[in-house]
Chain A
Amino acid sequence: MGQSNTIRILDGNTFVVSEETGDIEATPTEPTGLFSLDMRFLSRWVLTVNGERLNALSYDDLQYYEARFFLVPGMATHYVDAKLSIIRERAVGGSFREKLTILNHDEKAVDLEIRMDAGADFADLFQVKDEILNKKGELYAEAESDRLRLGYRRGNFVRETVISSSRPARYDRNGFAYSVHLEPNEQWDAEIDVQTFALGPGGRDLRLGVTAHGNERLALQHDLQEWIAKAPKVNSEHDRVAATYRRSLVDLAALRFAPLSLGGQTLPAAGLPWFMTMFGRDSILTCLQVLPFAPELSKTTLRILASLQGSRFDDFRDEDPGRILHEMRYGETAAFEEQPHSPYYGSVDATPLFVVLLDEYERWSGDVALVKELERECRAALRWIDDYADLAGNGYVWYERRNTETGLENQCWKDSWDSISYADGSLPPFPRATCEVQGYAYDAKLRAARMAREFWGDPAFADRLEQEAAALKERFNRDWWVADGEFYALALDPDGRQCDVLSSNIGHLLWSGIVDHDRAEKIARHMVGPRLFTGWGVRTLAEGEVRYNPIGYHNGTIWPFDNSFIAWGLRRYGFAEEAATIASGILDAATYFDGRLPEAFGGYPREQTKFPVEYPTACSPQAWSTGAPLLLLRTMLGLEPHEGHLAVEPVLPVGMGRIEVLDIPGRWGRVDAFARGRLDLHQLAD
């Protein structure tokens, strides 16, 4: 939902979305602002000089946490005559700081009235697309001699924006102003500091002592340099692969998020700007994607999700014992329980994926201590799968929300209301069970069996899990196979009827290993066949289905993250060429977005549009899109931990040229992987 012409900078979950001039004038359609803790702390931030609005000559988003705008007074038609330049440099990191610089290019002295309109509506992130009319609390503005205080109070819930300046300014309730006299070629500057407060009754800030790194610009810069230095280096014959990798690495750094109360540990948040918080599913899948490049994210993600694992039944939050959370929010609607995100547990896949990530992380890192540390949580997650998710009592993982007001209807990754349908387009009743989640549960049981046998000293539990997994695989291959189309159904309804549409979800089944070997080739053929594959990637829903729409959010668009797991799955079953086909399509698409893959793009055939059509309201950068190129690299290079060392078995298309990945961390220390494109993809199409 971010507009493409907005400029965004962020640090953790404090971020600024503005127009190209740096101004903020929030409306429901242009939800710009300064946000922190899921609330908007500035909804108006408009700079004028002598009453005139400014026009943008250019802007740079230098780093994810800083941007610079070059402006002149007046509108585009006459800016060439401008005798003044205005530079706005801003950064977030704890607080929001903006430095104004004004240069007089005239041969005469000038007197300027510089004014910043400032206002805050304290909208909850869940309300920014609505007209903010009936706030339940009280908004206030207090102009003091050296600061402007904008606030919102509802009971003990207080949020404040405090604006101050390095130079004396005149503050009023709607902003502040400076009167400036500039001689020819003289320059003036002022530093403005905007602090956000989330105050409790004692005046203490909720976030006290919680930061991922130092807040100052230099600390942020140092942190980013260290992050990049620590990650493997990727060199490629064609610069685009290496460029996409570098972009992903920096975006991944930006998306790190330190939840309150967890001591500054970071995990990947879901996406900028609207999803800068922890999501069970998104955080876990991103960690899986980036394991060869940034393994430490997995450790913190697993620990944080474990520390918030469900412990009781709560129908409002859809919480059960053992369940891994879906989403955590800190804003007003979460605080006052108008939304259930404190945290909300309505995700059907985060729990099995938690177990999958722990095992995969150990296979790379050799961190047995963490596997032992999280044994109890893993067992609780496995119990949730068997005891609380099997709503139909037939050995599958189902979902049905208990919070019917604000809970999620579809609790799988395709969480829009119409994502799960029968072939005739109608929607099934609840509970629903989607295919990919059965695969995750199967994989979780097998991986837990390995951990139980090797690290928990419980071979009997391991045997039981393996038997259960084998039975699930047999059952699944019987009940979900759509004989006519030769694929697995998207979902089952409570009567066991199949949602018999061809969807991308079945690609995840390869990754999980639940596909019978004699059926794998049929699934692989669908993945690169004309109904699902566009030339760029695999559509969420196949062309020809009733609900298919090339720009349908979960009914026809291409999701890079989805494709990365499909490619990984294809590789697992030995379909290296099909995997490379998908990897190559998605990496080609990335070059059209300067290496930054959006959440989703249109499912139009590649030859029709020639370029990938961005989904209109896609959120970017988004963590699992950022992680996709990294998983695709892993897949094409065939990187796989094997008996304590790293196996490398590259299958690259010819067009990729040479790729080298240096210093891949793991239980083996650091090793390099080299690959050369030898695969002629055209052979596949014939």
Chain B
Amino acid sequence: MVDATTRFFESLNRRDHEPLLDKAAGTVRFDLHEGAQTTHWLLRVDRGRLTVSQEDREADTVIGTTPALFEEMAAGRENGLAAVLRGDMTVTGDARLVVQIERIFPGSPDAQGPRRLHHREVR
């Protein structure tokens, strides 16, 4: 079974075009640190077109966190901006890209969304 992190990056790679990132351009490297080991994911954004690799190359923005926290974010259970404020995720380089990329993470699987009246009546 593949983890949510891998699924997340693979889905980005498959996405032909991500409209939420239409205005973004640059590279973001995610460094997931666990002890002495670091896993890298490199996301290249070119006006909505996305490419993912696992290269450890220089990037405009470097985001550092643990694989566990990233897994929760990829599954929609943790919020990236709150994690940055908490210091559980670090950002080096162009911070604007972080705000843009945070928005393509999924929402919570438990979210109910707007509560429409007629739904309530059905229950």
Q: Contact residues of A with B, CB < 8 Å?
A: 155-158, 199-202, 204, 206, 209-210, 260-263, 307-309, 311-317, 319-320, 330, 334-337, 342-343, 373, 376, 388-393, 400, 402, 431, 494
The 7 closest A-B pairs by CB, nearest first: A312-B107, A156-B87, A261-B95, A335-B85, A313-B111, A313-B113, A311-B103
CB distance from B5 to the nearest CB of A (A): 18
CB distance from A401 to the nearest CB of B (A): 10
Q: Which of B67-123 contact A (CB under 8 A)?
A: 76, 79, 81-82, 84-88, 90-92, 95-96, 98-100, 103-108, 110-118
Q: Tell me, in angstroms, the Cα distance from A317 to B82 when the chains sit together.
A: 11
Partner of B79, one of A260, A307, A337: A337
Q: Tell me, in angstroms, the Cα distance from A537 to B90 when the chains sit together.
A: 50
18 contacts between A and B (CB under 8 A): A157-B85, A157-B87, A201-B87, A206-B84, A206-B87, A260-B95, A261-B96, A262-B99, A311-B107, A313-B108, A313-B111, A313-B113, A315-B111, A317-B79, A320-B113, A337-B79, A391-B117, A431-B115
Partner of A320, one of B19, B91, B114, B116: B114
Beta-carbon nearest neighbor of B115 in chain A: A400
CB distance from A206 to the nearest CB of B (A): 7
Q: Which residues of B contact A320 (CB under 8 A)?
A: 113-114
Report whether over half of chain A's contact residues are helix, strand or loop; otherwise say mixed.
loop
Interface presence of B22 (CB below 8 A): yes
Q: Is the CB of B87 within 8 A of A200?
A: yes
Q: Is the CB of B107 within 8 A of A210?
A: no
Partner of A311, one of B104, B108, B110, B113: B104
Q: Tell me, in angstroms, the Cα distance from A400 to B82 when the chains sit together.
A: 24
Q: Which residues of A contact B111 (CB under 8 A)?
A: 312-315
CB distance from A67 to the nearest CB of B (A): 30
Chain B: interface residue count, which band?
A: 35 or more
Q: Which residues of B contact A317 (CB under 8 A)?
A: 79
Q: Which residues of A contact B87 (CB under 8 A)?
A: 155-158, 199-201, 206, 335
Q: Tell me, in angstroms, the Cα distance from A330 to B84 when the chains sit together.
A: 10
Q: Which residues of B contact A402 (CB under 8 A)?
A: 112-115
CB distance from A370 to the nearest CB of B (A): 12
CB distance from B22 to the nearest CB of A (A): 6
CB distance from A32 to the nearest CB of B (A): 25
CB distance from A138 to the nearest CB of B (A): 14
* Residues A202 and B90 in contact in the complex (CB < 8 Å), given A376-B22, A391-B117, A431-B117: yes
Beta-carbon nearest neighbor of A314 in chain B: B107
Q: Tell me, in angstroms, the Cα distance from A361 to B44 when the chains sit together.
A: 33
Q: Tell me, in angstroms, the Cα distance from A200 to B64 when the chains sit together.
A: 10
Q: Is the CB of A308 within 8 A of B117?
A: no
Q: Is the CB of B99 within 8 A of A334?
A: no
Q: Is the CB of A210 within 8 A of B82?
A: no
CB distance from A205 to the nearest CB of B (A): 11
Interface presence of B23 (CB below 8 A): yes
Q: Is the CB of A335 within 8 A of B86?
A: yes
CB distance from A676 to the nearest CB of B (A): 47
Q: Which residues of A contact B79 (CB under 8 A)?
A: 314, 317, 337, 342
CB distance from A282 to the nearest CB of B (A): 20
Q: Which residues of A contact B104 (CB under 8 A)?
A: 311
Q: Which residues of B contact A494 (CB under 8 A)?
A: 117
Q: Which residues of A contact B116 (CB under 8 A)?
A: 390-393
Partner of A393, one of B64, B82, B99, B118: B118
CB distance from A589 to the nearest CB of B (A): 39
Q: Tell me, in angstroms, the Cα distance from A263 to B115 when the chains sit together.
A: 37
Q: Is the CB of B112 within 8 A of A315?
A: yes
Q: Which residues of B contact A393 (CB under 8 A)?
A: 116-118
Q: Tell me, in angstroms, the Cα distance from A313 to B20 when the chains sit together.
A: 15
Q: Is the CB of A204 within 8 A of B90?
A: yes
Q: Which residues of A contact B76 (CB under 8 A)?
A: 312
